[in-house]
Structure 1
Amino acid sequence: MPPADDPYALPPFAPARAAAVRDQLGLTTGQVAWAVAAYCGSPVHPELVRAWETGTATPENIHVKALAAALWCSPADLVGEATTLAQCRTVAGLTLNETAAALGITRDQWEKAERRNRWQGTPAQTQALLRTLCPPPPCFVAACGRSEQLRVLLREAVTTWWPTYVGPLARIVPLDPAVLRHVLERLHLTYQRWEGATGGRAQQAVQAEARAADFLEHIDQHLWQHLREVLHFAGHPGRSTP
């Protein structure tokens, strides 16, 4: 994959997605290899396509784009979730200039934001960012430099009275408060089950205490996982004004 400062960096390649798209089209690896080779102008063996699909080899940026062309899909359909502002822009199919114009900032300002993966725009510019690039919540929170603040809030929420934390959480994570309320309640109940089990037999109590501590340590990861499940089931992004 391209280096982090590549102006057209894509998120990590998702082998299973590529294999699924090819299967849906009814194409062989040989047919895909021929199309990729035609796009790139250099030979590509069917075994290499198979290696990409099984994860034993990682295609370069140009090969991901060629593979997308061969499979009649977008490169975004063949990669995982964007984790940086640069990856969000690339997935959206925008240039540096187009992105800067959409956000109402200069190209230099946007390049600096990408280079540092740090977003410090005004509320209006932030809304434009959310509309234009649709960054995944983890990516947006990290770019705003609020990951640690989020973890602190989540730990407090699941260990105390969680409903009072929905508002503060919604000001960090750009999603519908109703969605956050649902997920926060699930996190609270999960933690309370482990916490409640610490009063059992000695060995079970030790195990439950360790599980509860590990849950708190990775509380933000649990939040993102629950959110992905809820939003996937609902079939909508659930985004709102941060």
Structure 2
Amino acid sequence: MKKLTNYLLQKKEVGKLFVPYIMAGANGLDNLTKEIEMLAENGATAIELGVPFSDPVADGPIIQAAGLDALANKVTLKKIVQVLQNFQSPVPLILMGYYNSFFHYGLAELITDLASTDVAGFIIPDLPYEHQNLVLPLLNDSEIALLQLVTLTSHEDRIKELVQNAEGFVYAVTINGTTGTGKNYRDDLDQHLEKIVELADIPVLAGFGVSNPEQVARFSEVCDGVVVGSKIVQSLKNDGLTKTGQLVYAFTH
């Protein structure tokens, strides 16, 4: 069992899990460590760091725009890793990016370079389950977990397959489509989430479209916590660190 899995299982015993997402470097790489510290201070269990990419197929308009801001700031995965190598995060970090970014860096080199950092997980939304052998063997001697996404179209047998050897947490996607705010949820979503929780031995977090404390409370009733991205990304861009900290505190308390 990976270190991230143990950590989240322990945290699950004392409360609901809250994992915010931010786009690394959208507001300048010199602000990244301040953003991480702010999120941790206000209740983040772990933090997803987005890796900017030119064709982010799973991202909605807010995160797409943040990725473009990061690219305009000349942010690369290499530069993100360099920042993290010189920073001790208060909570585990999870890199969320597209396979091309990891492949271009060199997966073996990336895993080696991250060994001295607090990165404990990867989320690669465009890496199909059937192609995980491109990544998993390289993680065998690493504490980095490859997290699984389960979509609304996953039937029970598929869910069992996805979660049987999953590490970290299971990312339960709550909508068909991309990330963002103001999404409509289908009527049987709670039953779908409950089924995933029933089948998984590790924490299950709901994400995509979660953007207010009421939704956080709702999903925390049926699973182990939530991932919130677009709302936080938008707040960091428009309102800055202090107000975003207040927003995160409202989500977590």
Q: TM-score, normalised by structure 2?
A: 0.27
Q: Which has the higher contact order (CA 8 A, sep 6+)?
A: 2
**Larger Rg: 1 or 2?**
1
- Between Structure 1 and Structure 2, the one with more helix by share is 1
Q: TM-score, normalised by structure 1?
A: 0.28
- Between Structure 1 and Structure 2, the one with more strand by share is 2
